[in-house]
Structure 1
Amino acid sequence: MRTVPLRLRDGVRRQAPTSLYVHIPFCASRCYYCDFTTYVAPKGAIAAYLDELGREFELLAPQVTHPLQTVFFGGGTPTLPDAQQLADLMARLRSAFPIAADAEITMEANPGTVDADKLETLRAHGVNRLSFGAQTFEPRLLMTIGRLHDTDAIYNSVRRAQQAGFERINLDLMFGLPEQTLDDVRRSLDETLSLGIEHVSAYWLKVEPGTPFADWQARGMLPLPGEDAEGDMYEEVVQTLVRAGYLHYEVSNFARPGGEARHNLVYWRNEPYLAAGVGAHGYVHGERYENVRTLAAYASALADGRRPVADTMRVSVREACEDTMMLGLRLAEGVSRAAFLKRHGVAMDKVFGKQIRELTAQGLLAWTDGRLHLTERAWPIANVVFEAFIDTVSML
């Protein structure tokens, strides 16, 4: 009997992007775990880059045919430039793109890098969400991971932001750090809750190649807690934040009801987004692209009036199906059977039936109201589930 190939499609390829990621790559110093595209640079280099970024906005503008619903400034440390530079950057953004009146505009910030002038400037130009990279409230651990701020800087920065009128504030925490204990995690959670913020992101340390941590690990000089202890830390994070009224809406993210990060939901729902800045990654019309990673190459491209794209990759319909599953299953809402059918033109079970049957039998996936989602026991080992959907679509 002849096997009939599945007729798959990617129903968002014609969808106009309404989200934009902007990369500001500058930091006062580089953290020991960081593998992002970041630079420690003089003020002149920062000023030149921000001007170049404005020119890239102009080159991207023709692709924005509908008002932007979300904008996310990531880094690096987007709040490292001074208040006037931030004002000019926001003016260039609004000059280039239509932005919805209720758009979510997020800016990452390191504690200690915001003052009254910067906060007032950001509010005046429409930034309505801040994300502070606290990582931990333990002074010795801040030093261990190479952070410049202290615990007072976390408190002061969050409180200044609240006094300036910011209601939407996220705090990043990390666990699985060298020599971190469960009590360390508990204290950081207690301090986080005392600040009364809307959103918490809690990330498991991953040792990335090319970082100081990777070098120290290779030499046996990185005393990590170990998988069992790290699993206990994750469980403590989940239980503490859920008890405090936060929704555990994504593997590493927790929000007060209605406080979910709209921009990040674009990623997890595998929807299109534009990206600007050195090393930035975008996904538009079924194609993923990456900008050049050096400041010199970035400046050269824009001086020539070219977009600074280094590489593009056409996402096949097979890969689009896999991405829908791997990204969507990160969310508590999971992946809708109806939405999958609408997007890809075929039932989810026809494409991934074997994987779904095996993972549900293992108690790692479950169906609720037509949505496939992680079970509670699957959250700590979610990567095991995601990996099952890689390179599995064979009938194309």
Structure 2
Amino acid sequence: MNIPSAYIHIPFCQQICHYCDFTKFFYNEKLADEYLEALEKEIHTYVPGEKAVVQTIFVGGGTPTVVTHKQLRKLLDMIHNHFDIASCEEYTFEANPGDLDLEKVQMLKDYGVNRISLGVQVFDDDMLEKIGRVHRVKDVYTNIDRLLQVGLSNVSIDLMYALPGQSVKDFEKTIDEALQFGLPHYSSYSLQIEPKTVFYQRYNKGTLVKPPEEDEAQMYEMLQEKLAANGVQQYEISNFAKPGFESKHNLTYWNNEYYYGIGAGSHGYLPGKRTINIRPLPAYVKQAMENGKPVLHEEPIGVKEQMEEEMFLGLRKTSGVSLTRFREKYNRDAEEVFGEAFPSLKKRGLIEQQSDKIHLTPRGRILGNEVFQEFLIDD
């Protein structure tokens, strides 16, 4: 079974951000010890023998680097013991600015981690406090310096826009400061109000107001223009990179390829099925320790679903969906499978075709969800 990627979830945070709906819990050393034991049981279920050969590993959260030095070494050891790190092309750790002392940075480097994703969000201390972040702007500078000091130069930073009280000018300042680092990769997302978050509660009470839609659109267009002018090309709706530094792990998702989903609340995609792990921490630990299979739900994925997802996910990429690859993969022509979707979306100016590639237009990127629903196949 060829599974090219592994996602490993560490659900602990020093503080819960006001917008975050990922599986996360306040860090507790004892709970983290128990979780790492359970995590190793689950990894062993997927990789019981020889080390798995994967192209990418992504350790996300939560905040994987919030754990102690001893716990971080244990985590790195278990990944090293079950996966062939030497053959892994991209090995990413998420981190929060402020969590990375020099010992942790050196440890990550020594264990073969070759890419860091930093959750910066904004270069504005007041806004960082308002959205529930614990780091401050100076921490970004300190941590990037430490990463570069040990030779970890493949750094990506996340930025957010359309935040409460954020103006177009505010976001422009964040983009300009982010670009001063000359990093190879940037991700940027507009604020989504998700259930079970602090912001969701405030939104329902009427105490949280997002910027107008026209401001949000202007922020997104400015982001695209400024990054392109600095040689950082958009390759997906929310992701930008210098040539050769596109996230190989995220491309696994958008190319509709298989990946292990390991850890509380993780989603995996294996031949014939998608898996969702148990989310509550005590239940995850209990089930993983009992049988190494803390799966809450398995959803069968047939050819119909695969073809739909090929379009949903592939159209997120700037390069779009290759009709030749679609035909090779499913032995069907996409135009035949999706009928009127192509001419209808072309007529509306939401997609266009170049050679054998179908991709979103600039307007189509803004109205992506309208495009994607056109690729649902009638039963």
Whichever residue aligns with residue 336 of structure 2, its letter is K
Do the aligned partners of 2:6 and 2:54 also contact (CA within 8 Å) in 1? yes
Which 10-residue stretch deviates more, 367-376 or 80-89? Answer: 80-89
Whichever residue aligns with residue 126 of structure 1, its letter is G
Q: Distance in 1 between matches of 2:84 and 2:45?
A: 14
The 5-angstrom pairing of residues 26-175 of structure 1 reads 26-62=12-48, 67-175=53-161
Q: Distance in 2 between matches of 1:66 and 1:342?
A: 27
RMSD: 1.5
Give, in angstroms, the shift of residue 298 of structure 1. Answer: 1.5
Q: Distance in 1 between matches of 2:325 and 2:108?
A: 37
Q: Distance in 2 between matches of 1:383 and 1:27?
A: 31
Q: Distance in 1 between matches of 2:299 and 2:305?
A: 11
Q: What corresponds to 2:322 in structure 1?
A: 336
Give, in angstroms, the shift of residue 320 of structure 1. Answer: 1.1
Q: Distance in 2 between matches of 1:92 and 1:41?
A: 20
Q: Distance in 2 between matches of 1:272 and 1:285?
A: 7
Aligned-residue sequence identity (percent) comes to 39
Q: Of 282, 301, 306, which residue of structure 1 is paired with 2:287?
A: 301
Whichever residue aligns with residue 298 of structure 1, its letter is Y
Unmatched runs of 5 consecutive residues or more in structure 1:
1-14
**Which aligned runs of 4 or more in structure 1 are off by greater than 3 angstroms?**
62-66
Give, in angstroms, the shift of residue 116 of structure 1. Answer: 0.4
Answer 1 or 2: higher relative contact order, Cα 8 Å, separation at least 6. Answer: 1
Q: Distance in 2 between matches of 1:64 and 1:353?
A: 46
Q: Distance in 1 between matches of 2:8 and 2:153?
A: 22
1:211 and 2:197 aligned: yes
Q: Of 181, 184, 191, which residue of structure 2 is paired with 1:195?
A: 181
- Name the TM-score, length of structure 2 as normaliser: 0.97
Q: Distance in 2 between matches of 1:99 and 1:116?
A: 22
How has the CA–CA distance of structure 1 residues 65 and 113 changed in structure 2, closer, same or farther, with 3 Å as cutoff? closer
Q: Distance in 2 between matches of 1:175 and 1:287?
A: 34
Deviation sequence 1:310-353 (CA, Å, 0-9, x none): 11000122211110001000001110011111112210000113
Give, in angstroms, the shift of residue 381 of structure 1. Answer: 2.3
Give, in angstroms, the shift of residue 376 of structure 1. Answer: 2.6
- Name the TM-score, length of structure 1 as normaliser: 0.93
SS of 2:67's partner is coil
1:354 and 2:340 aligned: yes
Q: Distance in 1 between matches of 2:135 and 2:81?
A: 34
Q: What corresponds to 2:235 in structure 1?
A: 249
Q: Distance in 1 between matches of 2:108 and 2:80?
A: 13
Q: Distance in 1 between matches of 2:29 and 2:335?
A: 55
Whichever residue aligns with residue 25 of structure 2, its letter is Y
Whichever residue aligns with residue 139 of structure 2, its letter is A
Q: Of 222, 229, 232, which residue of structure 2 is paired with 1:236?
A: 222
SS of 2:66's partner is coil
How has the CA–CA distance of structure 1 residues 81 and 65 changed in structure 2, closer, same or farther, with 3 Å as cutoff? closer
Q: Distance in 2 between matches of 1:373 and 1:269?
A: 14
How has the CA–CA distance of structure 1 residues 225 and 64 changed in structure 2, closer, same or farther, with 3 Å as cutoff? farther
Do the aligned partners of 1:32 and 1:212 also contact (CA within 8 Å) in 2? yes
Q: Distance in 1 between matches of 2:205 and 2:281?
A: 32
Give, in angstroms, the shift of residue 207 of structure 1. Answer: 0.3
Give, in angstroms, the shift of residue 103 of structure 1. Answer: 2.2
How has the CA–CA distance of structure 1 residues 301 and 281 changed in structure 2, closer, same or farther, with 3 Å as cutoff? same
Q: What corresponds to 1:260 in structure 2?
A: 246
Give, in angstroms, the shift of residue 65 of structure 1. Answer: 8.1
Whichever residue aligns with residue 92 of structure 2, its letter is T
SS of 2:291's partner is coil
Q: Distance in 2 between matches of 1:234 and 1:274?
A: 32
Q: What corresponds to 2:300 in structure 1?
A: 314
Q: What corresponds to 1:11 in structure 2?
A: none
Q: Distance in 1 between matches of 2:168 and 2:58?
A: 32
Whichever residue aligns with residue 153 of structure 2, its letter is E
Which 10-residue stretch deviates more, 40-49 or 22-31? Answer: 40-49
Q: Distance in 1 between matches of 2:86 and 2:258?
A: 17
